[in-house]
A and B are shown apart, each in its own frame.
Chain A
């Protein structure tokens, strides 16, 4: 059965892949077999995974505290009482959620933030030779101006690479607001994961 879930990314040397799944260098015992695709949160160790797996593997994932499984019906309003704890814990802001926000909106917002951090990591690596994440030295409540000069520069360069005028970015704003707004870049544009559009 097909599922969308947030899973940790495990690392083996220079290699990264989804925890619990059978990837190139699986570290989990008895990795889950089956087809999957992953959209990573840049160099932050979480990924959004689409998978086609057995029910027993779904049950297994449901039992993992570090995995969040989206409901099959994404058009439902978000009603998970643990959503704030889980998402905020992996630097995904939820303060924007309203009673009418659907899981699809949450999913697209998550994917948008992932894309922004992906670009951030690549630009940072290009400039400084090593991968990086926005949240390496920050939390959602950190203000942009509190990042290092290099991090701020990369953040603004990332925004500009997506067509955002960096001069319009308030450096006094918290990262939770900025990454959420950055996800709006994909408003009206499709995401693809495992060949599926959402």
Chain B
């Protein structure tokens, strides 16, 4: 029966409550029907009975109209009544004292929890609520305080009922018992009304936001019914476990027959229909958005077919295992014949036709064409040869080169005719220099040319001769110097007009560390330091002007 439960006690006088209605169970004492009301009927004893036709939540209430009163005869509502024992919470008044007793019975032990002098007699409705561990007595809908709300943890569950004391003409009527709160109805946001009757644990009923009505019959545990937003009706019959039905947003009807486990059917957004016949597991089929028809016949395991957006037709014949064909966007036709294992062909965007013939393995021919280049005919060349052409160059005819030779071209230089030179000959030319005729150089001869020098006639130099020309000096004609007389000219001295030396105005050069003065022409001298011992018979190389 549905809660709240009610009883008006309409029956034959003297009928015991449990006889009058099997919905009642007596916990202790006795009640009977009198004048179509309920009356306590156990002299000198506590009485209690509960409604057994419904299951009550722990949070519950009971109420009873007090219709007749006799001294020291009590009757009132009870909550959390035990199934059989004299255990419950009760609220009643003795009628003659003007008090109202809030009490608990635990296994027949009665404990008064509070009292008030504000109520007694008849013509009121006593109600007792219990929520969690809080008892709240009410008279005519108003909390009676004291006793007021009261915390008590003795009894945690039970049924709504009635309670009383002794016997006599104290009666109640219009009993009602029910649950506090809204029960177990869960309503999702946006739903309208849902009438939720008591349901057992296993049937679950879920309504998705935005849907209207759903009639949900008892569902077996393994049945699931899913409806997506904005779809119309779907009649969901029993589905076998392996049969899955998926409807995507925006699609209309799909007739779904049982599918074998391995058959998968995919419909992408925007497509109309697709007839899907069973296909074997290893056949994968992908269709991209906006493509038109494609007839897909059975093809082999390793045959892969990729079609990119906006391509038109392609006649695809079975390809050998190593044949890979890639067509970028914008290209037209390509006829692809069987290719050898190592031959790879790459055509970049914007290029036109290329005829690619079979290349032998040892050739390892790699053709790299940069954007904007025209045709190049590539002949077989040796293994170690690499050819690189930079952007902007026109053409180059490249003949066979020896393995150790390398040639570097920098942007902006004009052609250079490079003849064979020895292994140790390095030539470095800096940007902005003019031409130099470079003859064979001895092994230890190195030459450094600084920027802005004009020209130099460079003849053969002996082994230990080093020449350093600093910036700003003028021309120097450099001739062979004695073996033991190297000189180093130090930089930065300016003119000296009067040079006075030790040793009777001549300079005797004796060895390393000596300072000497060297005329640089036109009364200009520079100072130098001797680094190597000078032969004794040498005369001073400097004399005062």
Contacts and interface: CB of A to CB of B under 8 A. Distances in A.
Contacts of A131: 106-107, 109
A177 to B, nearest CB: 20
A9 to B, nearest CB: 8
A39 B106 contact: no
Given A122-B154, A131-B107, 12 more contacts: A14-B108, A14-B110, A24-B94, A24-B101, A35-B117, A37-B113, A39-B113, A115-B151, A118-B153, A122-B155, A192-B148, A196-B148
Nearest to B105: A14
B143 interface: yes
Closest 3 A/B residue pairs (Cβ): A195-B148, A125-B107, A195-B145
Nearest to B103: A24
A46 B188 CA distance: 49
Secondary structure of the A contact surface, majority rule: mixed
B60 interface: no
A194 B108 contact: no
A93 interface: no
A87 interface: no
A190 B82 CA distance: 26
A126 B109 contact: no
Contact of A38 (B108, B110, B112): B112
B111 A17 contact: yes
A125 B106 contact: yes
A50 to B, nearest CB: 8
B149 interface: yes
Contacts of A18: 112
B153 A116 contact: yes
A195 B149 contact: yes
B106 A194 contact: no
12 contacts: A15-B111, A15-B112, A35-B115, A37-B148, A38-B111, A115-B151, A118-B154, A121-B106, A131-B109, A191-B151, A193-B150, A195-B148
A143 interface: no
Contacts of B11: none
Contacts of A129: 85, 107
B486 interface: no
Interface residues of A, number: 41
B134 interface: yes
A95 to B, nearest CB: 24
B48 interface: no
A36 B110 contact: no
B532 interface: no
A68 interface: no
Interface in B133-187: 133-134, 143, 145-156
Nearest to A51: B146
A52 B146 CA distance: 10
Contacts of A15: 110-112
A190 B146 CA distance: 17
A168 interface: no
B275 to A, nearest CB: 60
A35 B146 contact: yes
Interface of B: 46, 82, 85, 87, 94, 101-102, 106-117, 133-134, 143, 145-156
Nearest to A125: B107
Contacts of B111: 9, 15-17, 38, 40
B151 A17 contact: no
A190 to B, nearest CB: 8
Contact of A37 (B147, B153, B156): B147
Contacts of A162: 153
Contacts of A103: none
Contacts of A43: 106, 109
Given A37-B148, A195-B145, A195-B146, A115 B153 contact: yes
Contacts of B152: 39, 115, 118
B147 A130 contact: no
Contacts of B112: 15-18, 23-24, 38
A119 interface: yes
Contact of A121 (B110, B114, B154): B154
Interface string A3-45: 0000001000011111000111000000000011111101100
Interface in A27-85: 35-40, 42-43, 50, 52
Nearest to B114: A37
Given A115-B133, A122-B87, A194-B148, A16 B82 contact: no
Nearest to A129: B107
Nearest to A116: B153
Interface string A121-145: 1100110011100000000000000
B107 A194 contact: no
B99 to A, nearest CB: 8
A192 B150 contact: yes
A59 B523 CA distance: 131
Nearest to B155: A122
Question: Which residue, A36, A37, A43, has most C-beta atoms of chain B within 10 A?
Answer: A37
Interface string A76-117: 000000000000000000000000000000000001000110
Given A119-B156, A122-B87, A131-B107, A38 B151 contact: no
B114 A126 contact: no
A196 B114 CA distance: 13
Question: Which residue, A23, A43, A129, A191, has most C-beta atoms of chain B within 10 A?
Answer: A23
A108 B106 CA distance: 24
A161 interface: yes
B87 A119 contact: no
A36 B114 contact: yes
Nearest to A192: B149
A14 B109 contact: yes
A23 to B, nearest CB: 5
A119 B153 contact: yes
Nearest to B83: A126
Nearest to B99: A24
A75 B154 CA distance: 29
A23 B110 contact: no
B184 to A, nearest CB: 20
Contacts of A193: 150-151
B107 A36 contact: no
A195 B155 CA distance: 19
Nearest to B152: A118
Contacts of A52: 146
A22 to B, nearest CB: 8
Given A17-B111, A24-B112, A126-B87, A37 B154 contact: no
A132 to B, nearest CB: 9
B134 A192 contact: yes
Question: Which residue, A52, A116, A193, has most C-beta atoms of chain B within 10 A?
Answer: A193
